[in-house]
Amino acid sequence: MSATGRFKLLQFNMQFGQPWDDVYPDHVPINLQLTIDEIRSHDADLVMLQEVEHALPGGAQAEPPPHYTRLKQEFPGQDSYFCYPRPDPRELPFGIGLAIFSKTPLREHICVNLPSPPVEFDFFGEKKTPTDRVLIGATTTIAGRDVRLLNTHLLAFFMLKSSSEVHLSQRKLVEEQLRDTAGMPTLLTGDFNVSKHQSLIQQFAEAGYQTVQSTEITWRRRPYVLDHIFHNNLLRPTGCWVKPTMASDHHALSAEFEFVR
């Protein structure tokens, strides 16, 4: 963090510490050290993470969350906040849980449930419906200025042969949080799982927020821009970078900001 208040943010879906493999991407052993090394390499003032933990059979949630606990040990000088979604026996064995890490203290924490619609899909021959998602938030102070931080991971409707443009409820709940913080510098990060991302960008633009980039692919499995860093007009991005990494099936997205006034 510079003396003028310029700061750097890292947005990263860490896929519960499972590295990428071009041949067998779903069968690679978890290697949390690669995740830690990737995060550390960015030296960001703010780190926003999705899929921190691996969902356990039957929707069980490990307490304390092991990966978040390890990350706290690796970054002892940082404040942090973590939240699981609501426990649900329908949870599939993928990544769950959101975290914020900050070099400055966090306060005013929230964890908002984002209900998923009962869209049926097939999972290895069984009919399933999706579990709820969450949005977390906190406030920090950087160079004497309060900054609101929001982080989310929305349902991937395109994987269910549907679209968030049809099922807008999660996106609208996120938009409500954006509008509630319009008077202070605010950042929204996450894996938004919107394959046709222009509709998402337009929706949040109407609420006064812009994404730092919308052209470079951020997901290895399909050529989609799923990860975003949105900001309002009280913050100005001075640079942004999409960095391919073998530590996840998502690339790392980072941006540097300064205050506008």
Question: Would you give the DSSP letter of residue 255?
Answer: E
pLDDT digits (tens, 9 = 90+) for 210-260: 999 999 999 999 999 999 999 999 999 999 999 999 999 999 999 999 999
Please, which pLDDT band fits residue 182 given cuts at 50, 70 and 90?
confident
- The three state secondary structure string of 86-138 is CCCCCCCCCEECEEEEECCCCEEEEEEEECCCCCCEEECCEEECCCCEEEEEE
Options 3.90.850.10, 3.60.10.10, 3.40.50.800, 1.10.357.140; CATH of 7-259:
3.60.10.10
Q: Compute the distance between CA of residue 6 and CA of residue 1 in angstroms, rounded to an integer.
A: 6
Q: Which percentage of the chain shows pLDDT scores above 90? A: 93
State the chain's mean pLDDT as an integer: 96
Cα 96 to chain centroid distance, Å, stands at 11
How confident is the model over 201-205, as a mean pLDDT? 98
161 or 178, which is more confident? 178
Q: What's the pLDDT score for residue 67?
A: 98
Residue 17 backbone zone (phi > 0: left; psi -120 to 50: alpha; other: beta): left
What pLDDT is stored for residue 261 in this prediction? 78
What is the residue extent of each domain of the chain?
7-259
Rounded CA gap, 153 and 132, in Å?
10
**Total length of the chain:** 261
Cβ contacts of residue 5 below 8 Å, gap of 6+?
A: 142, 143, 144, 145, 258, 259
Q: What angle do CA 62, 42, 187 make, to 5 degrees?
A: 75
Does 151 score more than 70 pLDDT? yes
Q: Strand ranges (DSSP E) for the chain?
A: 7-13, 46-50, 53-54, 79-83, 95-96, 98-102, 107-114, 121-123, 126-128, 133-142, 145-153, 186-191, 209-211, 227-232, 235-243, 252-259
Residue 125 backbone dihedrals phi, psi, to 5 degrees: 85, 0
Give CA–CA dist 131/92, Å, rounded. 9
Helix axes 169-180, 198-206, angle to 10 degrees: 40
pLDDT at residue 3 above 60? Answer: no
Please state, for a pLDDT cut of 70, what percent of the chain lies above it. 98
In the predicted model, is pLDDT for residue 1 greater than 70? Answer: no
Burial of 104 (0-12, 13-18, 19+ CB in 10 A): middle
> Cα separation of 159 and 38, whole Å?
27
Each residue's pLDDT tens digit, 108-126 = 999 999 999 999 999 888 8
pLDDT digits (tens, 9 = 90+) for 54-83: 999 999 999 999 999 999 999 999 999 999
Query: pLDDT tens digits for 85-97?
Result: 999 999 999 999 9
| Mean predicted confidence (pLDDT) in 28-50 | 98
Q: Answer yes or no: is pLDDT of 152 > 70.
A: yes
Contact indicator for 190, 177 with CB cutoff of 8 Å: no
